[in-house]
Amino acid sequence: MSSTVSYYIDSLAWNSVTYDCDTGGPLEVRIDHDGDELLDRSGCDNYPTFGEIVNRMVRVTFRIREVKFTTALATKSDMTIVLKTKASTVTITIPDMMLSAVRMTQAKSVQGDCELTFVHVSDDGTTNPIS
């Protein structure tokens, strides 16, 4: 019999700032590591006989309660994300994450939030940045 293990985000550190439950977040984090499929077929192939992933990208988006985020776009720093369960901790480290977007929301009579998006800028263009 298997059981489901639920992880929750404990903290996210970037540019010498740690966001945790004491600093208004993070409430949610999404890590995308993807690219574009380059597929090839020949003759009467119904399915690709060759595939490669090009234009690879690592993107991290996280949401916090703080709405006074003042760091300039294109600022680059290493990022550390800590996920926890009741019994274990997973730490994800991604170097050279550049701030690419800030989206703030404040509706009437509810708590506001801020969504920050980062992209990885590689030093060598080949090394997988997620560890």
Residue 34 lies in a domain: yes
Residue 48 lies in a domain: yes
- Give the domain extent around 91: 8-120
Residue 18 lies in a domain: yes
C-alpha to C-alpha distance for 123 and 71, rounded to whole angstroms: 22
**pLDDT value of residue 1:** 46
Residue 95 lies in a domain: yes
Residue 15 lies in a domain: yes
Residue 116 lies in a domain: yes
> Which DSSP state fits 1?
-
3-8, long-range: CB within 8 Å, 24+ apart, which pairs?
Answer: 5/85, 6/85, 7/83, 7/84, 7/85, 7/90, 8/83, 8/84, 8/85
Note the helical H segments in the chain. Answer: none
pLDDT band at 78 (very low <50, low <70, confident <90, very high): very high
Residue 2 lies in a domain: no
Q: What is the mean pLDDT of the chain?
A: 87
CATH code of the domain covering residue 116: 2.40.30
Cα dihedral: 63, 67, 68, 72 (round 10): 40
pLDDT beyond 80 at 39: yes
Residues facing residue 38 across a β-bridge = 52
Residue 19 lies in a domain: yes
pLDDT beyond 80 at 88: yes
The stretch 51-78 carries a mean pLDDT of 86
Per the structure, how many domains does the chain have?
1
HSE on the CB side for 74, CA within 13 Å? Answer: 0
**Which secondary-structure segment (H or E) carries 31?**
strand 28-40
pLDDT band at 13 (very low <50, low <70, confident <90, very high): very high
